[in-house]
């Protein structure tokens, strides 16, 4: 086990480029099973979850090779088994996305219950409701999901929630189903759009990309292709928060500013501002972080919602920013009932936060944070703690950083290039 040792209280400066979108990379790896031709994925993040997913594909007999840094070639010419490695499947949540592609290619799939972040209950019902609608038979056991289908047939699907992975599952199953599929109440996040555009490049017939209603005309086969992933907008939001709380001037290159209109609104309630310069976002130094009350002095709220609303993965970052802003704000995490449980670690650093219930926290700032021994509970909370440590006085030691490595590519090296005093060390 390794740790991050962070000396806080220093200004950062320079340019940082976000890695490829983690939440696009993982479903795209599953989508590679839909073709027996080679697929080359560029701007693939070199993170732990991607490496596990690659191993999972290899356990199925699929050829995977890194052609160069962040460029991966996947060739699913044959699939040797319909039962992905159980131990690997239990390490990442998106192992469940192999269900649809395996059904299409082999007519069968047996998947262990997936792993992932411990941020509360994360239902999978939407996946199986969609697959059942397309003609799959699903048997749920205590430890696994067993599916079979003698060909899938297009249909009209109204998802019971705007589940990102549930939408991706339905899309991948539908592109090779016979007939037409309509998916209504679909998620439309940038990574869902990346999946659709890659499948389109492979020969899938998909319309409505970027909306909540998708129309898919099934085709008989998909081709190989080359596809470049977009930037990870969670990294972009994290770097905006980092610059704000450390008073730093940071340019985020190739950030797709158009994806951060709601981030600008929510972070703006804490006084955070930035400029869009072409594809870049530039955060100026020494911002005055001050909570902007709603009309008549009402305490404002930062809450998450389906895209294009504020993404839940940035709620942890928003909470850390709020600890450094003058005023009071309500953080309302609607989507996950365990996301805010890292607040106790911020309290140990000196933050003034009242955790009302699993979904709501009142933050009163600014608070002087001090270095502390911390443990990363999940990917996004882990990055939030890194940001808190970088603006704190003194030295912090963060353990369980394997959680952070799951979503952020060599983060300590990239932050050190901006002047951050952060080191990776073996655990004591």
**Same domain, residue pair 154 and 93:** yes
pLDDT tens-digit map of 201-235: 999 999 999 999 999 999 999 999 999 999 999 99
**Residues flagged as binding site:** 22-23, 93, 313, 335
Q: Can you give the three-state secondary structure of the chain, one letter per residue?
A: CEEEEEECCCCCEEEECCCECHHHHHHHHHHHHHCCCCEEEECCCCCHHHHHHHHHHHCCCCEEEEEECCEEEEECCCCCCCCCCHHHHCCCHHHHHHHHHHHHHHCEEEEECCCCCCCCCCCCHHHHHHHHHCCCEEEECCCEEEEECCCCECCEEECCCCCHHHHHHHHHHHCCCECEEEEECCCCCHHHHHHHHHHHHCCCEEECCCCCEEEEECCCCCCCEEEECCECHHHHHHHHHHHHHHCCEEEECCCCHHHHHHHHHHHHCCCCCCEEECCEEEECCCCCCECCCEHHHECCEEECCCCCCCCHHHHHHHHHHHHCCEEEEEEECCCCCCHHHHHHHHHHHCCCEEEEECCEEEEEECCCCECCEEECCCHHHHHHHHHHHHHCECEEEEECCHHHHCCCCCHHHHHHCCCCEEEEEECC
Residue 405 annotated as catalytic: no
**Where a domain ends, among 208, 228, 248?**
228
What integer is the mean pLDDT of 142-148? Answer: 89
What range does the domain containing 348 cover?
Answer: 2-19+231-426
pLDDT at 115: 63
pLDDT tens-digit map of 284-318: 999 999 999 999 999 999 999 999 999 999 999 99
**Residues flagged as binding site for UDP-N-acetyl-alpha-D-glucosamine:** 93, 313, 335
**Same domain, residue pair 12 and 26:** no
**Same domain, residue pair 11 and 27:** no
pLDDT at 141: 85
pLDDT at 133: 97
Question: What CATH code is carried by the domain that includes residue 198?
Answer: 3.65.10.10
**Where a domain ends, among 201, 228, 255?**
228
What integer is the mean pLDDT of 255-265? Answer: 97
pLDDT at 122: 56
Q: What percentage of the chain reaches a pLDDT higher than 70?
A: 98
pLDDT at 109: 94
**Same domain, residue pair 198 and 310:** no
**Same domain, residue pair 48 and 73:** yes
pLDDT tens-digit map of 319-354: 999 999 999 999 999 987 878 989 999 999 999 999
**Same domain, residue pair 217 and 258:** no
From 117, 232, 304, 405, the catalytic residue: 117
**Same domain, residue pair 135 and 222:** yes
**Residues flagged as binding site for phosphoenolpyruvate:** 22-23
**Where a domain ends, among 204, 228, 252?**
228
pLDDT at 28: 98
**Same domain, residue pair 10 and 29:** no
pLDDT at 121: 45
pLDDT at 114: 79
**Same domain, residue pair 154 and 203:** yes
Q: Structurally, how many domains does the chain consist of?
A: 2
**Same domain, residue pair 206 and 261:** no
**Same domain, residue pair 185 and 170:** yes
pLDDT at 117: 43
**Same domain, residue pair 66 and 193:** yes
């Amino acid at each position: 086990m390794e740790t991050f040792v962070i000396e806080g209280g220093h200004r950062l400066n320079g340019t940082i480029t976000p890695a490829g979108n983690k939440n696009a990379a993982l479903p795209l790896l599953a989508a590679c099973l839909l073709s027996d031709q080679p697929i080359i994925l560029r701007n693939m993040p070199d993170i732990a979850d991607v490496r596990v997913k690659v191993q999972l594909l290899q356990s199925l007999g699929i050829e995977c090779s890194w052609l160069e840094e962040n460029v991966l070639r996947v060739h699913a010419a044959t699939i040797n088994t319909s039962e992905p490695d159980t131990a690997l499947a239990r390490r990442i949540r998106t192992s469940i996305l192999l269900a649809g592609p395996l059904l299409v290619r082999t007519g069968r799939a047996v998947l262990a219950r997936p792993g992932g972040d411990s941020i509360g209950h994360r239902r999978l019902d939407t996946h199986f409701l969609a697959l059942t609608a397309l003609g799959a038979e699903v048997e749920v056991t205590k430890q696994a999901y067993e599916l079979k289908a003698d060909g899938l047939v297009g249909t009209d699907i109204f998802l019971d929630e705007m589940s990102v992975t549930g939408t991706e599952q339905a899309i991948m199953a539908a592109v090779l189903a016979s007939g037409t599929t309509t998916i209504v109440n679909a998620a439309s996040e940038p990574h869902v759009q990346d999946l659709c555009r890659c499948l389109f490049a492979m020969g899938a017939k998909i319309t409505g990309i970027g909306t909540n209603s998708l129309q898919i005309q099934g085709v008989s086969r998909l081709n190989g292709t080359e596809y470049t992933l977009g930037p990870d907008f969670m990294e972009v939001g994290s770097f905006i928060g980092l610059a704000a709380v450390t008073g730093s001037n940071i340019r985020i290159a190739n950030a797709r500013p158009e994806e951060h209109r709601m981030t600008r609104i929510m972070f703006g309630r804490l006084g955070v501002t930035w400029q869009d310069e072409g594809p870049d976002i530039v955060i100026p130094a020494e911002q005055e972080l001050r909570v902007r009350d709603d009309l008549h002095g009402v305490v404002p709220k930062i809450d998450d919602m389906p895209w294009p609303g504020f993404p839940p993965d940035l709620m942890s970052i928003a909470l850390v920013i709020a600890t450094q802003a003058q005023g009071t704000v309500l953080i309302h995490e609607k989507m996950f009932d365990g996301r805010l449980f890292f607040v106790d670690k911020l309290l140990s650093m000196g933050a003034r936060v009242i955790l009302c219930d699993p979904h709501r926290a009142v933050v009163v700032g600014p608070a002087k944070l001090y270095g502390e021994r911390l443990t990363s509970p999940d990917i996004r909370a882990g990055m939030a703690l890194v940001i808190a440590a970088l603006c704190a006085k003194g030295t912090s030691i963060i353990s369980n950083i394997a959680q952070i490595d799951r979503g952020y590519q060599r983060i300590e090296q990239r932050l050190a290039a901006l002047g951050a005093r952060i080191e990776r060390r073996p655990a004591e």
